[in-house]
Structures are given as C-alpha cells and as structure tokens.
Structure 1
Amino acid sequence: MTDQSYQPSVAGLRAFVAVARKLHFGSAATELGISQPALSQALAALETGLGMRLVERTTRRVFLTSQGEALLPRAVAVVRAVDEMLLAARGAEDPLKGGLRLGLIPTVAPYVLPAILSGVAGRLPELTLQVVEDQTARLLDQLRDGVLDVAVLALPVDAAGIAEIPMYDEDFVLALPTGHRLAGRKRVDPADMADLPLLLLDEGHCLRDQALEVCQLAGFRPDLGQTRAASLATAVQCVEGGLGVTLIPATAVDAETAGGRLATATFAAPRPGRRIGLVFRESAGRMAAYRRFAALLTGVIADAGADGRITPIEPPVSEPA
C-alpha cells in the first residue's frame, strides 16, 4: 500500500524512466551518468515508497510490470516538467535567453520595431520577444507591476525604482504640407513656428509634452487650433491635408514621407530633439545584461537606416552589474 505522505524523488523517477526506456540497467545508468548500484537503489526506493513493483528483472531480460506500464506516462511527464523548469531557470540567469517582455511608446514602435525584431532574431536566437505598445505612464505601471521586463521610452522618466539606460539621441523635424514656405529649409528657427497652427498628440503622449517644451524654449505659446491626434500617423495625415504642422522624430521621417505628400524642414543648431533609452526595474538587478541589450537595439536601429539620423550614446567604461 502506498504511504499517503510519500513524495517520490526526482532521482527515483529518472531511474524508473531511464530503465523503462532502455530495458537495461547498465545502459540506463550510463544514460543518467550514475553507477548501476545507485540506479538500482533509486528505483528500489521509489518502488518501496509507492508500495508496488514497477520493474521486473530476470537473468535474461528487464520488463515493466502492469503497474509500471500504468505509471510510466505520468513519470515521464514529471521528469519532463522538471527538465523544463531547470531549462527555464538557466534561461532566467541570463535575461537575454528565453522570453523578454518589451514595451515601446507609440512614437518609437512603428519606426524601429521591424529593425528590432529582425535584428534580435539574428543576433539573439535564444531570445523570444513579447511586444507591448502603449503610452509612457501605462508602460511604467506595467514595469512596476512586473507585467513588462523592459521598455523603450523617451528619457528622462524620473520614476522611483526605475533604472534608465540611454540609447540614442534624435532630432525633431518639422513636418509641413508640400509647398509650404518652410519646406526643405535646413536651419529653421523654432521661433518660426510661432505663427503656425501646431498639431499635437493627445494628452499622455510624451511627444506632445516635448513639442510644447520646444515652443516654450523658443519663447512662444503655439497656436494649437482645434485638431488633436491620437497617433503620430494621424497627425501627419492632418498635416498632409493642410490643417497645420507638427514635429516628428528623425527616425519617423522615411516612413512618414514615403507617400510624397509630406514635406520637412530641419532646425538650426542647437536642434531640438529627444533622448531614447531602455528602462527597467532597479530591483531586477540586471544592469549589465540590459546594457548589452540596449546597445544591440541601438545598433540594429542604426544599421536599418537610422545611421546619421540618430546619435548613439556610448555606455560608460565601467558598468555596474
């Protein structure tokens, strides 16, 4: 009779599964990398604990009992589950193996995500990304709650418990309707926007706040008109329709001007822009690994056509762990 308090050991289950697979004690012991007496002892302990014979051995052969045949699939499932847990634990030692949950803000994701996905697949084949696109505040909430591992945001976020790794700087570009008097200009003064209807994203988008900061630094309050957009793509479409102008990040220029109905102008130095970086929970204690990941992301974004549009930020010589 089985002792209700008995808990079979993993060693005993491995011994049972190996013997059932090989039907030979010597071969099973070799497979497990243990001695044959150790294998026999582990199997005997399992049988004693279960109160039943699982394997019979004669001078001529080894075979499973009917009870062994019945319990084998469950033993295999337990051993497989333990192996999967150990693999997951080894992957957890290196966050760049296994699964990584990545958040991106909407003014970054559409323009760099294709490069990130293809670049990560090629350079970190053991890493599987899960991607979430959302506004900054909600991404930070998901980081704090453990729903996300890392996020690509505009810096600084100045959030308690959140570590920041700068990746690159990029300029803002003025998006205009084709034929606009400023179209194609290379050294626009931000103050030149003072008399233009500026289209902004909805509340919650960091690019909205950054555009208003550019206007404030230039010494004017923008004419916001009545149009607001939920996405940068919508704002660009409104610009193309003659409803105003807007600011777009340099990484968005190629995608948003591909249709031929949008003109751009660049600002005079010092050009307004933003800093993009990788953020994560300080409590995760994975600064070194995430620095490698941030550097990889910056590299694949530059290699995909953003070289010259972004200025990569070199990591410090000495990295904290």
Structure 2
Amino acid sequence: MTDQSYQPSIGGLRAFVAVAKKLHFGSAAADLGVSQPSLSQSLAGLEAGLGLQLVERTTRRVMLTPEGARLLPSAITACDAVDDFLLDAAGDLDPLTGHLRLGIIPTIAPYILPRVLRGLGERRPSLTLLVIEDQTDRLLGQLRDGSLDAAVLALPAGIPGIGEITMYDEDFLLAMPKGHPLAGRKRLSPDLLADLPLLLLDEGHCMRDQALDVCQRAGVEPDLQQTRAASLTTAVQCVEGGLGVTLIPRTSVGVETAAGSLGVAEFSRPRPGRRIGLVYRESSGRADSYRTLAADIANLIAESGAVTVPVSPAHP
C-alpha cells in the first residue's frame, strides 16, 4: 500500500517514463543521459515509495505491470508539468524553438514535407523538426507515451487527453490508368465505385477506412481486389499497371501524376475528402504554440491551392 505522505522525485518519474517508452533500461538511460545503475536506482526508489511494482524485468524483456500501465499517463503528465515549470522559470515556454518531434502519417508526409520544411525553415529558423512517419495508431501511441510532441493526421482522432487542431480539408480524387474512359471527368458520381475494381491500402492506414467510408456513404459495395498496398505510391503503381483504381488525396496529385501514366477524375459536389489536423497531449500545456504551428503548416500547404483552410485554422 502506498504511503500517503510519500512524495515521488521527478528523477524517479522520469526514469519510469523513459523505461516505459523504450522497454529497455540501456536505451532509457541513454535518453536521460544517466548511467543504467542510476536509472535502475531511481526507478526502484519510486516503486519502493509507492509500494507497487511498475516494471517487470526478465532476462529477455522488460514490460509494464498492470499498475505501471495504469499510472504511466499520470507520470507523463507530471513530467510535462515539471518541464513547463522549468521553461516558464527560464522565461521560454515556446516549444517552437529547438527540437520538436513531429509525427506524420504516410499518406500526408511525402506530399507536404518539402513545402513545410522549407517554409518553416524560413518562418521559424530556431525550430528544428524531427519527423517520424508512421500509421495513425502508432503515432497516437507515441504521442501518449511522450515519444512525440505533436502529430499531423486525419481527424478526428477521438482520444481522451489528445487535443485536436484543424488545419485544412482536402478532396479525394479517383486515380485510374491514363486513357481510362473516366479520366478527366469533373463530376464523377461515387456510385460508379460499385462497378470498379478498387485497390486499398493495408490494414492500419486511415485512408483504407476513409475509402471504404466513401463507398458506404454512396451506398455501394465496391469490387475489392485482392491486391493491397503498403503505401499510396505502391497503390498508384498498381493502378498504372492496370490492376484497378484507387482514391488519392488532392495534395498527392502533383507527385503521383508526374510520371505521366496516371489519370484522375474529380467527384461531384459535395466531394468526398478528409480533414487534416495537428494533435498533441492536452497535458503539455502548449496548446497556443501548437495552434500557431498548425496555422503555419496550414497556410504553407494552402499556397499549393490543393486544400481548403477553414476560416480560423488555428482553432479546433
């Protein structure tokens, strides 16, 4: 049973969070810049003070106990609060300086990063982005455990404790082999998907779910091919090879049609699409700075003319 008078040290909490993130004592110690024995001692002190085992160690692996998994979000919140306190004491609560770990999903990253990295480099020269590309669920997991500061993905995320900031909306287009009878159409009905071999991304990609949602809203059951792609670029290459059609976001059109072997068609209004936003831990206390960052990214992407920025992109 926990002694109610016990006050955990920030070192113990940081040790716990680092081990929980890495599930490896050596890597956790390296992240914190301390020796492994020092890290183990800090964690052991926290567990002794709480009267709980937070981490289970075996000769082959490290894992969280049920108590550790339950207490991890509170430990992350406590560490965030201390970090903010220290930054505030130094007069610099702005995370838009130094390094910022930004996650981006694969159906966005290749198409916006060149413009965003160049633009932010000019607008915020003191900010260095560390970019991590991964699927939505894994990015949200890394955000919750503190491995990421923020992430760009399709909204809504719908996760308690995760704040969402709308950045822009973009349409989906139908990609098909060049010369296809539907190529170049401007008012395509989603009903036509019922008669087309639709290629999907693998499980875990949000665009797979979004494509199926488009079909569901149109009241059709698409002719799903067995071919599934691990990336949007692979799906497009399969389309160019005549294996079917696929949905692509408007921001990808310039890149994916550059080879000249792909045709596209636009859907009739209201066009199917997705809303892209920036997500972050609400416990970080940095909502205002992240709204500023979201507005910067939204405005940079809007310069391409491929997206629609809401009237107030810096607010949810």
TM-score, with length taken from structure 2? 0.70
The answer for the alignment partner of 1:313 in structure 2 is: 310
Cα deviation per residue 1:83-128 (whole Å; 9 max; x = unaligned)? xxx9997486111011100000000000000111111110001101
Distance 1:239 1:89 in 2: 56
Q: 1:246 is matched by which residue type in structure 2?
A: T
Cα deviation per residue 1:155-184 (whole Å; 9 max; x = unaligned)? 001011100000000000000101111110
Distance 2:231 2:311 in 1: 31
Partner SS for 1:310: coil
Distance 1:288 1:264 in 2: 39
The answer for the alignment partner of 2:3 in structure 1 is: none
Q: Aligned in 2, Cα 1:98/1:89: closer, same or farther, shift over 3 Å?
A: farther
Give the fraction of aligned pairs with identical amino acids, expressed as a percent: 66
Q: Which has the larger radius of gyration?
A: 1
Distance 2:87 2:154 in 1: 35
Shift of 1:193: 1.2
Q: Aligned in 2, Cα 1:91/1:143: closer, same or farther, shift over 3 Å?
A: farther
The answer for the alignment partner of 2:103 in structure 1 is: 103
Shift of 1:316: 7.5
Contact 1:92 1:98 in 2 (8 A): no
Cα deviation per residue 1:49-81 (whole Å; 9 max; x = unaligned)? xxxxxxxxxxxxxxxxxxxxxxxxxxxxxxxxx
1:139-178 alignment runs, 5 A limit: 139-178=139-178
The answer for the alignment partner of 1:216 in structure 2 is: 216
Distance 1:154 1:282 in 2: 18
Cα deviation per residue 1:225-282 (whole Å; 9 max; x = unaligned)? 1100000000000000000000000000010001000000000001000000000001
Partner SS for 2:198: coil
Runs in 1 of length 4+ with deviation above 6 angstroms?
86-89
Q: 2:289 is matched by which residue type in structure 1?
A: A
Distance 1:227 1:110 in 2: 22
Partner SS for 1:259: coil
Q: For structure 2, which runs of at least 5 residues remain unmatched after alignment?
A: 1-85
Shift of 1:315: 2.4
The answer for the alignment partner of 2:277 in structure 1 is: 277
Shift of 1:299: 1.2
Distance 1:224 1:235 in 2: 13
Shift of 1:302: 2.0
Shift of 1:210: 0.2
Distance 2:172 2:219 in 1: 17
The answer for the alignment partner of 2:119 in structure 1 is: 119
Distance 1:175 1:138 in 2: 28
Q: 2:218 is matched by which residue type in structure 1?
A: A
Q: Aligned in 2, Cα 1:147/1:92: closer, same or farther, shift over 3 Å?
A: farther
Shift of 1:314: 2.7
1:39-188 alignment runs, 5 A limit: 90=90, 93-188=93-188
Q: 2:112 is matched by which residue type in structure 1?
A: V
Distance 1:296 1:182 in 2: 36
CA RMSD for the aligned pairs?
1.9
Q: For structure 1, which runs of at least 5 residues remain unmatched after alignment?
A: 1-85
1:249-288 alignment runs, 5 A limit: 249-288=249-288
Distance 1:89 1:241 in 2: 59
Q: What is the number of residues matched between the two proteins?
A: 231
